[in-house]
Amino acid sequence: MIAVKEINKTYRQGSVTRPVLSLVSLQVEKGEFVAIQGPSGSGKSTLLNLIAGLDAVDSGSIEINGCLMSGFNEQQRTLFRRRHIGFVFQFFSLIPTLTVAENIALSLELNHLTAGMNARVEELLDNIGLLERRSSFPDQLSGGEQQRVAVARAIVHKPALVLADEPTGNLDIENEAIVLRLLAELKQQYSSTLLVATHSDDVAARADRVLQLYGLAEGR
């Protein structure tokens, strides 16, 4: 499902260069739930962003379902991501001008999956305990509530691949369990592949496999 081969990524700001990923390779099979752990700053978000095509690798290759993401241009990556990937951003990235329900519905609308859309959105809202907040705007929600909406938005179109960046980082145990259950259902019912960056040992314990990312040494 995912084949990452020897990717490198260095951030550059003016004369400052910050190598983050050096020759990172990994393979994830269809339907697998893989957790990525590692210290803050080790590059977990960077890796997920690259796999999602939100950013481009310096070198190396990324294949998803046999498609060479690293060979796509930005528009091709966007179209591929919209259809096949659900992404949970570490800092939610909900659209501030859309209501909770509209944020969740957006992935369905963009994919022209509007038949039964309202029922699907309401089902998810109910699952995450936010049905009465459907008309609220993101800035009227707590961090944990926004995070649950971000998860719902990522899974609403039943994507083949969910890339989730700390999807439970702001949640209490009860809501962490809800998010894990939603992800597990997606995996069970649609054989979706899950790649989840997490500091939570509870989340990692639920994964089929845990990958460890080590930060590159300081003083590089």
Ligand X SMILES: Nc1ncnc2c1ncn2[C@@H]1O[C@H](COP(=O)(O)OP(=O)(O)OP(=O)(O)O)[C@@H](O)[C@H]1O
The three-class DSSP label of residue 79 is helix
Query: Is 45 one of the binding residues for Mg ion (CB under 5 A)?
Result: yes
Does residue 71 touch ligand X according to CB under 6 A? Answer: no
The nearer residue to Mg ion, 46 or 127, going by C-beta atoms, is 46
- 3-class DSSP assignment, residue 191: coil
Tell me the site size for ligand X, rule CB under 6 A.
13
C-alpha–C-alpha distance, residues 169 and 176, integer Å: 9
Q: In angstroms, what is the C-alpha Rg of the chain? A: 17
Which H helix or E strand runs over 73? none
CB of 35 to ligand X, least distance (A): 13
CB of 169 to ligand X, least distance (A): 8
Task: Residue 11: name its binding partner from Mg ion, ligand X, none (Cβ under 5 to 8 Å by kind).
Answer: ligand X
18 is a contact residue toward ligand X (CB under 6 A): yes
- Quick one: which of 44, 81, 148, 206 contacts ligand X (CB under 6 A)? 44
On whether the CB atoms of residues 52 and 80 are closer than 8 A, the answer is no
Q: Which stretch binds ligand X (CB under 6 A): 24-32, 36-44, 107-115, 170-178?
A: 36-44
Burial label, 13 (beta-carbon count in 10 A; 0-12, 13-18, 19+): exposed
Which of the ranges 44-52, 53-61, 140-148, 173-181 carries the binding residues for Mg ion, by CB under 5 A? 44-52
Q: Which residue, 37 or 192, has its beta carbon nearer to Mg ion? A: 37
Which segment (33-41, 117-125, 140-148, 186-194) binds ligand X by CB under 6 A? 33-41
Q: Under rule CB under 5 A, how many of the chain's residues touch Mg ion?
A: 3
Which residues inside 69-98 make contact with Mg ion, applying CB under 5 A?
Answer: 90
Alpha-carbon gap, residue 167 to 80, rounded angstroms: 22
The whole-angstrom separation of Cα 151 and Cα 92 is: 8
- Least distance in angstroms from the C-beta of 62 to ligand X: 15
Decide if 26 contacts 202 (C-beta within 8 A): no
How far apart (Å, rounded) are the C-alpha atoms in residues 188 and 183? 9
| Positions in the binding site for ligand X (CB under 6 A) | 11, 13, 18, 20, 38, 40-46, 90
